[in-house]
Amino acid sequence: MSLAVTNTVLDGESVGLRVERGLIAELGPGVDAHPGDDVVDGRGTALVPGLVNGHTHAAMTLFRGYGDDLPLMEWLEQRIWPAEARLDADDVYWGTRLACVEMIRSGTVRFWDMYWQPGAIARAVEDAGLRATIGVPLIDALDPANTPKLRDDALASLDDITGHGPRVEPSLTPHAIYTVSEPSLHWVAEHAAERELPVHIHLSETEEEVERCVDAHGLRPAAYLDRIGLLGGERGATVVTNPVSNLKLAVGAVFRYRAARDHGIPIGLGTDGAGSNNSLDLLQDVKVFALLQKHEARDPAAVPAAEAWAVATGQRAPLLGQSTLAVGEPADFILVRTDTPQLSLGDFTADLVYAASGAVVDTTVVDGVVLMRDGIVAGEAEVRTRAVERARRLGVA
Ligand SMILES: [Zn+2]
């Protein structure tokens, strides 16, 4: 199956693009459709790489608007954890499908997920057509006696995630240092190294977490992980900042982005789950990320638009898997409407970061497959209906 996008614009130049077997086969001025191509008419659009969501809990779309404006622990203990105790695989499947529709609509082509029932997440991602690195959720209530069970559950979950095609990749996701014991974290480090799996963990989210870690181990959380062998250190540990979720829950401090960047640490952007954000639209969060950094630094040049855009598209964090618009690369890209008020004049990158929302996205292509065309995602109505049914079953909607 081959695909052609005609009459679009890349870096201000009129171009065409062709896709064969999931890869960009031709790209540039004068590139036109071949006979038999599925043709997307790109008039009124520009071609840009897709966005990469470095941290989310996709199925938490089911909990959107359930317990807003509560303190973090009250929100978790009284709302989220009791509801999560009732979750089954079909809930997670349809919640993840709903998240995938929202991400497709707002231009995200790849995400890093951490949630229960990873086998159901893998099926949802496979069916939705996106790319994702799906975590095996690991929690042992800080009790080393639970390490053998954590290990057995992790190995079974890894089996559930495999076999869902090349767009679905596994990772190990210990929830946090305050919910997973040190022996379990040691096992995670060893097993990740053995199978070359990435590890994805919440870190230094609250002042309390940092204080408790210093009291217990004499080290701040990142140093504690490094001692266990989990960080990767110079070997590429990536920080994903989730400014909107942190702002809404009123926890933590402003991420010291510039200090991390100046030390050469790879950095990505995440939404966190829709239970706490409440949106999965990275085109909104990239603006908040940039503004927060500017305001904190009292310097409007602290994070320029092009740099914020690079972070949101994964270009500052190779591990996260950015898409590259070049011949031979995977055909993951979006078309944004340049005939919208937000994108019709001014600097294009600044418009994307400061003016646009996901509503400017017209077409989303992943692995050479058109997941949204002219603003329409096939099967969206069924996904919404089923997700609402699951939320009602859980008593959260
Ligand atoms: Zn999270």
pLDDT tens column, 340-368: 999 999 999 999 999 999 999 999 999 99
Sign of CA dihedral 280, 283, 289, 295: negative
Count of all residues that appear for the chain in the document:
397
Distance 292 CA to ligand 1 centre (A): 19
Distance 41 CA to ligand 1 centre (A): 38
Q: Does residue 101 register a pLDDT over 80?
A: yes
Across residues 152-168, what is the average pLDDT? Answer: 96
Q: Which long-range contacts (CB under 8 A, 24 or more apart) does 289-298 make?
A: 289/241, 289/243, 289/257, 290/353, 290/354, 292/243, 292/247, 292/254, 293/254, 293/257, 293/258, 296/254, 297/258
Across residues 161-167, what is the average pLDDT? Answer: 95
Distance 66 CA to ligand 1 centre (A): 16
User: In DSSP terms, which residues pair with 168 in a beta bridge?
Assistant: 132
Scored b (16 or more CB within 10 A) or e, 318-337 reads ebbbbbebeeeebbbbbbbb
Distance 289 CA to ligand 1 centre (A): 16
* CB-neighbour burial class of residue 67 (10 A; exposed 0-12, middle 13-18, buried 19+): middle
Distance 270 CA to ligand 1 centre (A): 9
Q: Give me 255's structure tokens.
A: 């991420």
Confidence of residue 233 (pLDDT cuts 50, 70, 90): low
Distance 115 CA to ligand 1 centre (A): 9
Distance 56 CA to ligand 1 centre (A): 6
Distance 76 CA to ligand 1 centre (A): 12
Distance 240 CA to ligand 1 centre (A): 10
Least trusted range by pLDDT, from 149-163, 232-246, 339-353: 232-246
Distance 16 CA to ligand 1 centre (A): 39
User: CB-based contacts of 52: which residues, under 8 Å, 6+ apart?
Assistant: 108, 109, 110, 111, 268, 269, 282, 312, 313, 314, 317, 320, 321, 322, 323
Distance 303 CA to ligand 1 centre (A): 24
Distance 137 CA to ligand 1 centre (A): 12
Phi, psi of 68 (to 5 degrees): -65, 155
State yes or no: cis peptide before 278, omega within 30 of 0.
Answer: yes
Q: How far is Cα 303 from Cα 233, in angstroms, rounded to an integer?
A: 25
pLDDT at residue 1 in the model: 78
Phi, psi of 371 (to 5 degrees): -90, -25
pLDDT at residue 234 in the model: 66
Give 32-84 pLDDT, tens digit per residue: 999 999 999 999 999 999 999 999 999 999 999 999 999 888 999 999 999 99
Confidence of residue 235 (pLDDT cuts 50, 70, 90): low
**Strands, E, within 233-317: which ranges?**
239-241, 267-269
pTM of full prediction above 0.85: yes
3-state secondary structure of 64: coil
Q: Does residue 246 register a pLDDT over 90?
A: yes
Distance 63 CA to ligand 1 centre (A): 14
Distance 19 CA to ligand 1 centre (A): 35
Distance 9 CA to ligand 1 centre (A): 36
Distances (CA, A) of 395 to 79, 83, 386, 392: 11, 8, 14, 5
Give 371-382 pLDDT, tens digit per residue: 999 999 999 999
Distance 335 CA to ligand 1 centre (A): 29
How far from each other are the two terminal CA atoms of the chain, in whole angstroms?
41
Q: Please check whether residue 44 is in contact with residue 337, taking contact to mean a CB–CB distance below 8 angstroms.
A: yes
Q: Which helix (H) or strand (E) holds 184?
A: helix 182-195
* CB-neighbour burial class of residue 381 (10 A; exposed 0-12, middle 13-18, buried 19+): exposed
Q: Nearest to residue 231, comparing CAs of 209, 258, 200, 261?
A: 200
Distance 343 CA to ligand 1 centre (A): 31
